[in-house]
Structure 1
Amino acid sequence: MPRLSAEQIAAAVQAGETTAVDVVAAALARIEQAEPTLHAFVEVWAEEALRRAAEVDAQVAAGVLLPLAGVPIGVKGRAGLRAAAARALVAAGCVPVGATSVPGPGTPWQTWGLGAGGRTVNPWRADRTPGGSSAGSAAAVAAGLVPMATGTDGAGSVRIPAAWCGVVGLKTTNGRLPSPDRTGLAAAGVLTRYASDAAAYWRCVTEAGDAQGSGDRGGGGTKHDGPEQPYAAERPYAAGTASTAGTAGTAGTTRAVGAAEVTQAADSASPPVAVWSADLGFADTDPGPAAIAHGAALRLMDAGLVRLTGLTGLTGLVRPPVRQAHQPVHQGTPPSRAANPPEPQPGPPKQQPHPYPLRLEDPAPAWLALRAAPPPDARPAP
């Protein structure tokens, strides 16, 4: 089942149309065929994966409902199964088939991966890198070896390989899930071929509660004393919609945001703080994608879903005034009212400056200082 989604695989296993053992065996066969050139895995756990798949089949036969029954997954790095998110996936019925590659020793922040047989290659072009640091996870998913693989992301380690390999990458909000990263920079994530599978991952890892997975490679028997369970973040926006558009003195107000409506309770907790930077102070970004992302950030602010912070830290928080989506921001007199409207200029349109600070200082020095790791001075051999 190389091209079925994780949810489709789980539905077929749960319905008895196939077995977890057959699904996992097919994934292992694909890995064996691809690994001599792809190098997406540092370890393959064939025997343990088949044993775990048989356990999943037994649970399904006993009537246990597993949301991701029999789904083969890759886990990032040799220690990947110790992560709380990976344990939650195992509890949901996933079967880890191996540890995916990460950058080699001494170069932990570079966008590449080193598998058991050599440098991890991009499945689309073997002369290109898959990105990193979740290199093997992205390559394995893009090549169809597994439908889902875990990752972590502190400075793009899920997002970069997802973009370079053409798959879906989800970086969870920092602090929403347990993480061994004491600096708070890295967050759990996942790489999939389908957005619906990323949503299924999110449901499993956030609704796991006190469910205990395993701490050994194959998922069987060793309890892991890991970090605390995810915190239950207070949500300032209630689910559902109000019957009116909002009235002064009522419990809340409702306004349209895209195709949905959100109800904001009066005197509720403030929206979370957000910062924006297209280049983190040093990167050379493409103006087109940067403008799209910048526009999305502005829409989130206009919806009242996030607040902004200034460049000097978490002081002087600003919540921008609500602006309807169809009303553009004009500097000075709107063009429609100007006596002599300016002639359009050739070339790409220039972005109007936004009145609120959207730039984040370059975090690289702080990143390296917190990690107590000097910048790498050597690149891996080709």
Structure 2
Amino acid sequence: MDVVAEALERIGRADPVLCAFTEVWGGEALRRAAEVDARVAGGSPEEGERLPLAGVPIAVKGHSGLRAAGPLLAAGCVAVGATSVPGPGTPWQTWGLGAHGRTVNPWRADRTPGGSSAGSAVAVAAGLVPLATGSDGAGSVRIPAAWCGVVGLKVTAGRLPSPDRTGLAAPGVLTRTAADAAVWWRVVSEQPAADEAPVSFPVTAVWSPDLGFAAPDPEPLALARAAVHRLVDAGVVRLVRPSAPLLLLDPAPAWLSLRTPGADLADAHRIRAENDRRLDLLFSAAGLLLTPTAPTAPHGHDGPGDVYSTALTWAFNVSGHPALSLSAGFGTDGCPAGLQLVAPRAREALLLTVVREAERRGATV
């Protein structure tokens, strides 16, 4: 109960500035924490095993986030509040709107935290909670993870329940460490650690600065490339050259068509099939694909104009591959950037194992 009370106290101090939460459930969270404490104190060893996350305070994305948090609550987590998402009428740029106003980047208040899992990323980056849930339809977990300097995982399409009728959006999580994300994954997937395939290091990887169609700005590209070099120097990954450069088709037309009711999907299916073929070829020769997470640094609250922050992420919503953003360091503006790691479908555990090993070997920032 004390841990939850401390989290609520931190939120009470910081949220009027950060605006990460739309609702804070203080009384209910304390009641829930007391119930969990009572169960742990009076239970058998088996009871403790059923509550592996007993008393851990978490935040959930948006007003409907509790519906997706069932496995976490069953594991003993205590939901302390709902986090901000873009407000009504917000265009495609990535703002969040909390109870106290516009959600700000915890590193620079004049910059966006990314979105749409804006408040979840801010709550974790600012140390308000150790874990927050998200959902990712075009980069909505990975972009705010990159711009707030935390770990953000999007799972394989279809592996966990999602209300998105298009199949583009998948659940995800934001944490400060890969170990915390791995605990989340084991709980929500019901996959014990013992069942995970062993990983031999270094893991083979292909580096792509632009996926063949994007045009990332020099600084986030340089930061991501430096992060790759740290992984290589630490023996976590080994870069390999594919038989041909990875040149994906720009997924923008496919993604937009798939999100538009009544649209002609013939071109979308063509793009998806061709990119799937090219990604299958890449993953037949390498374990991971590495790219920058976002093509730009965090922009101001008026938006970046016509630059899509999703340029490097939404290809993997169309293809369905699991992907993770890892902090890649800080730009000259004082804000974080991200390195995106993409794995074959259903290999979330590989992503998490690689990043855990990078953290253990001191190869992360």
* Structure-1-length-normalised TM-score: 0.58
User: 8 Å contact 1:277–1:360 — kept in the other structure?
Assistant: no
- 1:45 corresponds to: 25
1:52-71 to 2 correspondences below 5 Å:
52-63=32-43, 64-65=47-48, 66-71=51-56
In structure 2, runs of 5+ residues without a counterpart are: 231-236, 262-299, 304-365
Matches within 5 A, 1:194-213: 194-207=177-190
1:178 and 1:110 mapped to 2: Cα distance? Answer: 26
Write the mapping of 1:160-175 to structure 2, written as runs, cut at 5 A.
160-175=143-158
Q: CA RMSD in A?
A: 3.5
Q: How far has the Cα of 1:139 moved from its partner?
A: 0.6
Which protein has the larger Cα radius of gyration, Structure 1 or Structure 2? 1
Any idea what the Cα deviations from partners look like across 1:275-317, whole Å, max 9, x if unmatched?
9782573442444456579999xxxxxx9xxxxxxxxxxxxxx
1:186 maps to what in 2? Answer: 169
Structure 1: gaps (5+ residues): 1-20, 210-234, 241-255, 262-273, 297-302, 304-324, 330-353, 374-378
Instruction: Name 2:244's counterpart in structure 1.
Output: 356
Alignment of 1:255-294 (within 5 A): 257-258=200-201, 278=210, 281-286=213-218, 287-288=221-222
Q: Secondary structure at the match of 2:60?
A: strand
Structure 1 CA distance, aligned partners of 2:215 and 2:201? 31
> Over residues 57-95 of structure 1, what are the superposed CA-to-partner deviations in whole Å (9 max), with x where a residue is unaligned?
122123221111101111001011112xx1111111111
Q: Quick one: structure 1 residues 203 and 143, their matched pair in 2 at CA, closer, same or farther if it must change by over 3 Å? A: same
CA contact (8 A) 2:95 2:301 kept: no
* 1:190-339 alignment runs, 5 A limit: 190-207=173-190, 239=197, 257-258=200-201, 278=210, 281-286=213-218, 287-288=221-222
Identity of aligned residues (%): 67
Aligned-partner SS, 2:31: helix
Pairing partner for 2:7 from 9, 27, 30: 27
**Native 8 Å contact 2:212 2:246 kept in 1:** no
Moved more, 180-189 or 107-116: 107-116
Residue 370 in structure 1 maps to residue 251 in structure 2: no
Equivalent pairs counted in the alignment come to: 251
Superposed displacement of residue 29, structure 1: 1.2
- In the alignment, what sits opposite 1:118? 101
Contact 2:211 / 2:246 at 8 angstroms: preserved in 1? no
CA distances 1:120-146 after superposition (whole Å, capped 9, x unpaired): 011111111111111100111111111
TM value normalised by structure 2 = 0.60
Distance of 1:178 and 1:285 partners within structure 2: 35
Which of 50, 59, 84 is 1:74 aligned to?
59
Tell which has more relative contact order, 1 or 2 (C-alpha 8 A, sep 6+).
2
Q: Which residue of 2 aligns with 1:306?
A: none
Change (3 A) 1:90 1:131: same
1:112 positional shift: 1.9
Higher helix share: 2
Match among 65, 68, 84 for residue 101 of structure 1: 84
> Measured at CA, do residues 361 and 259 of structure 1 come closer, stay the same or move farther in structure 2, by a change above 3 Å?
closer
